[in-house]
Chain A
Amino acid sequence: AQKVTQTQTSISVVEKTTVTMDCVYETRDSSYFLFWYKQTASGEIVFLIRQDSYKKENATVGHYSLNFQKPKSSIGLIITATQIEDSAVYFCAMRGLSSGSWQLIFGSGTQLTVMP
């Protein structure tokens, strides 16, 4: 069975610093996709960034980047130069390709608070 685990329930950082949020996953699939989504205080959920398992290069989008450590089944989200508006809940998610299943499995989320 596939599983995504986010052990950090909440993190607080000071504005303009760098934060890393952890995520580990379990899958038997040889190919899979890893995603990070952000849920704002209003409840809106938006896609941030994706890592394809067959790519060695870490994905980067704006001030979001990933630390993909395949041997450790780990996909950390790094936010550099944090801003107040980065305060949100961040979800890690995975989609494997086994058995034709397209289900996206989410972790339980990490609440990030960015303080001035």
Chain B
Amino acid sequence: EAAVTQSPRNKVAVTGGKVTLSCNQTNNHNNMYWYRQDTGHGLRLIHYSYGAGSTEKGDIPDGYKASRPSQENFSLILELATPSQTSVYFCASGGPGSAETLYFGSGTRLTVL
């Protein structure tokens, strides 16, 4: 069954530390996305990718980097984590076409102390 898997499920980091959130999809989708979810804001797009080697900025990219080394894997990197980045992060894959349905991972709960 096609799936999107995120790791870790939970992460506690210290301010100023580096955090890497990983996402793997077996859907063979070209497009992958990173969202964060905060109360009252729904899902906000951080970075996305159209395929291996590509990354694009979403609505709230500041403080985040992304890496898409392969079709299956898409990482979100916080080089210098801050408490304001405490949130739940969701990865999704989708495609093909503009009417694509997104398939979401189970989320990563990140706490930055």
Q: Which residues of A contact B (CB under 8 A)?
A: 6, 33, 35, 37, 42-47, 50, 52, 91, 93, 95, 97, 102-109
Let me know if A47 and B99 touch, CB within 8 A. Answer: no
**Interface check B43, CB cutoff 8 A:** yes
- A106 contacts B42, CB within 8 Å? yes
Residues on A with C-beta less than 8 A from B73 are: none
A residues less than 8 Å from B33 (CB atoms): 104
With known contacts A104-B45, A108-B42, A50–B98 Cβ distance under 8 A: no
Partner-binding segment picked from B11-19, B78-86, B102-110: B102-110
A-B contact pairs, 30 of them (CB 8 A): A33-B98, A33-B99, A35-B101, A37-B102, A42-B106, A43-B106, A43-B107, A44-B106, A45-B43, A45-B90, A45-B92, A46-B104, A47-B103, A50-B99, A50-B101, A52-B99, A91-B42, A93-B43, A95-B98, A102-B48, A102-B50, A102-B98, A103-B45, A103-B48, A103-B58, A104-B33, A106-B42, A108-B41, A108-B42, A109-B42
Chain B interface residue number, banded: 20 to 34
Minimum distance in angstroms from B111 CB to a CB of chain A: 15
In the assembled complex, the Cα of A109 lies from the Cα of B41 at a distance in Å of 8
Given the known inter-chain contacts A50-B101, A97-B98, please indicate yes or no for A91 contacting B43, CB distance below 8 A: yes
For residue B59, CB closer than 8 A to chain A, the reply is yes
Q: Chain A: which residue is nearest B41 at the CB level?
A: A108
Give bound CA distance, A35 to B48, whole Å: 19
Which residues in B have their C-beta under 8 angstroms from that of A95?
98-99
CA distance A108 to B43 in the complex (A): 7
| A103-B34 Cα distance, complex, nearest whole Å | 11
Tell me whether A45 and B59 are in contact (CB under 8 A): no
**B31 interface contact, C-beta 8 A:** yes
Q: How many angstroms from the CA of A6 to the CA of B101 in the assembled complex? A: 20
Least distance between A105 CB and chain B CB atoms (Å): 8
> How far does the Cβ of A81 sit from chain B's closest Cβ, in whole Å?
24
